Amino acid sequence: MGNMTSYLPQNEGFLQYWLLLLSIVSIGNSVQSYLTTSYTRRVYSAPETTVTPLHSRTFGTYTALASIIRLYAAYNIIDPMLYQLALWTYVVALGHFYSEWLVFGTARWGKGLAGPVVISVGSLAWMVSQWGMYVR
């Protein structure tokens, strides 16, 4: 088990592990977005909304890109540029989910939307509050 810890981020604190966990989970979400539209339809669940395979793959592509940025930030959390990029991935995600819900009406509040919104808000708040601990 001692050898496994050498693959984990090596800085102090828990935020880096959170970013790593979300990166891994998000890569899985990206893969499923390429294989099926069923999970993407849970987020974009308004009755008049059609989720096509193209929409699902586009969502998966953004999620993969955000996951890669967050993964790099997890391992280089003291780098201000990577920290800011990771922070911005949550801002963009949150802006997207809120606009689809409140502006465009393609998403409805429910467990499909609540999960990504809670993760985005919580991660964004955590990153903003911990800036001084990590960025040097």
Better-predicted residue by pLDDT, 49 or 32: 32
Determine the angle formed by the axes of helices 53-75 and 80-98, rounding to 10 degrees.
150
- Write out pLDDT tens, residues 76-135: 999 999 999 999 999 999 999 999 999 999 999 999 999 999 999 999 999 999 999 999
Following DSSP, what letter does each residue of 87-121 receive, concatenated? HHHHHHHHHHHHIIIIIS----SSHHHHHHHHHHH
Specify whether the CB–CB gap between 113 and 101 falls below 8 A.
Answer: yes
Alpha helices in the chain (DSSP H): 15-35, 38-43, 53-75, 80-98, 111-129, 131-134
pLDDT at 2 over 80: no
Determine the angle formed by the axes of helices 80-98 and 111-129, rounding to 10 degrees.
150
Provide the pLDDT confidence category of residue 16 given band limits of 50, 70 and 90.
very high
pTM summary value: 0.91
